[in-house]
Amino acid sequence: MGICRLCLKDKKLIKAHIIPDFMYKGMKDEKNVFHSIKGISDEIKPIPLQTGEFDKGILCEDCDNRILGGKYERYAKSLIFSDKLNLETYPTYKAENGKDFSILNDINYDKMKLFLLSVLWRASITNRPFFKEIDLGYKHECRIKKILFENIIPDELEYPILATSFSQTKHPLQQIIAQPKRIKFANNINGYSFSMRGLNFIFLVNSINHSLPKSMTESILNKNNEMTIFYHKNKQDFNILNSILK
């Protein structure tokens, strides 16, 4: 028994994955084990793992399965992290700085935003060492908890989310879930980077009134159900928002 971090009730807590289990599909090697890496770098040294990261002390079964799983993860599993999404089928454009990008125009903003925020929130409340750099602080943890539990659809500029992809390179990050990292941008913009199966999601965590560069606001997941994906073209392209901010 323990206090569930989502419903705040004293209930039996379960083995809850921080990054949903379905996102590890197809990532085991011939020995049936996962591989983990620490951070994003040009030289990757895998660390064998028997299972994905989970925490037995944060969520009850109802919140984990019915709310986070049933409301948010089901959609992501059926779209972004399934064979239905093939970035090669979307037109590729070139930005002014020469970076390639695609615009996914059939994303359900409400469901995708809350799913991604659920991953960010779980990474912040867990004590698992793999997520040690993810610390939203009490105010933001409480706000995102309220968003998830009450199914509130936040504004585009409340915890804006950007995305990049390694799908156009042979880099091994296509097949690896990397350790999430805290990143700091100009103008004191705080961010958290999650690299998962070739996609990299960047969460910007600031006041909703904090001024963001136009290049960011034009590229975030938006209520027109669009998500812009910038492509990393080579192994050295590891500055997470290089393709947008340069």
3-state secondary structure 108-123: CHHHHHHHHHHHHHHH
What is the extent of the structural domain holding 153?
A: 2-245
How many angstroms separate the Cα of 241 from the Cα of each of 42, 48, 167, 183, 232? 17, 29, 16, 10, 10
Q: 229 near 104, Cβ under 8 Å?
A: yes
For the record, the structure tokens of 68 come out as: 């986070």
Question: Residue 226 pLDDT more than 50?
Answer: yes
Question: CB-hemisphere CA count at 13 Å for 171?
Answer: 29
Res 244: pLDDT: 39
Per-chain mean pLDDT for the chain = 80
Question: Residue 197 pLDDT more than 90?
Answer: no
Tens digits of residue pLDDT in 143-193: 999 999 999 999 999 999 998 887 665 555 555 677 889 988 777 788 999
- Mean pLDDT to the nearest integer, 112-116: 94
% of the chain surpassing 90 pLDDT: 38
Res 231: pLDDT: 83
Structural domain tally of the chain?
1
